[in-house]
């Protein structure tokens, strides 16, 4: 299947120079096609970071769950300082803080691709989205267990002394 887009209801290849200048393709109409990838001419490390940050911001803006993950991460960091957790506990908290939003980003990416290729109902689309949501749920449950293991003992010690 050829990569294409539907600006203004038309389907044209993403490498079409006219498409690059149209709204909806980044502020500078930035789109990479196969020729760009082969030449590596237009894609610096800064571009790569900018795209990654743009993806994180997109997920944060559009996904309610992402906002919840970020709020939980902020709460975990505050609790970590208040309860003076040890370095190993900080490492466990840091892994959870990175892992859950990362999986949510992958979930968001998968939802976007599914919506692109299957705008109407399809059993496979349902399974794909449900599995991705399941992955987020598993990570969130694991992180909750880690949070209980890390924060509950020092919290009890603090309030029961
Ligand atoms: N094209 C489709 N075909 C079949 N079922 C779909 C389709 N799109 C969505 N669904 C069903 O609706 C659910 C919610 O999909 P939606 O795209 O609204 O994700 P969401 O509300 O952002 O979910 P999440 O909370 O996991 O981010 C999916 O898990 C799936 O069961």
CATH number reported for the structural domain that contains residue 132 in this entry? 1.10.287.3610
Residue nearest to atom 10 of ligand 1 (CA): 126
The count of structural domains within the chain is 1
Instruction: Judge whether 29 lies within some domain.
Output: no
Q: Which residues are CB-neighbours of 5 under 8 A, at least 6 positions away? A: 11, 12, 14, 19, 24, 25
Tell which one of 129, 131, 136 to mutate to probe ligand 1, the residue whose CB is within 8 A of the most ligand atoms: 129
**What ipTM is given for this predicted complex?**
0.93
Residue 104 among the catalytic residues: yes
pLDDT in the model for residue 41: 66
Instruction: Judge whether 116 lies within some domain.
Output: yes
**Averaged over 54-83, what is the pLDDT?**
98
Instruction: Judge whether 91 lies within some domain.
Output: yes
Structural domain boundaries enclosing 133: 63-159
Residue nearest to atom 4 of ligand 1 (CA): 126
Instruction: Judge whether 49 lies within some domain.
Output: no
- Average pLDDT of the chain to the nearest whole number: 85
């Amino acid at each position: 299947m050829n990569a294409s887009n539907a600006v203004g209801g038309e389907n044209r290849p993403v490498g079409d120079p006219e498409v690059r200048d149209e709204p909806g393709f980044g502020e500078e109409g930035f789109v990479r096609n196969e020729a760009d990838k082969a030449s590596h001419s237009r894609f610096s490390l800064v571009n790569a970071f900018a795209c990654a940050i743009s993806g994180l911001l997109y997920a944060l803006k559009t996904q309610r769950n992402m906002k919840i993950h970020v709020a939980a991460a902020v709460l975990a960091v505050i609790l970590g300082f208040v309860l003076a957790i040890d370095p190993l506990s900080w490492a466990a908290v840091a892994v959870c803080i990175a892992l859950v939003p990362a999986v949510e980003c992958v979930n968001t990416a998968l939802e976007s691709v599914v919506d692109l290729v299957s705008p109407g109902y399809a059993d496979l689309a349902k399974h794909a989205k449900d599995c991705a949501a399941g992955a987020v749920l598993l990570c969130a449950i694991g992180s909750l267990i880690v949070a209980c293991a890390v924060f509950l003992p020092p919290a009890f010690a603090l309030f029961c002394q």
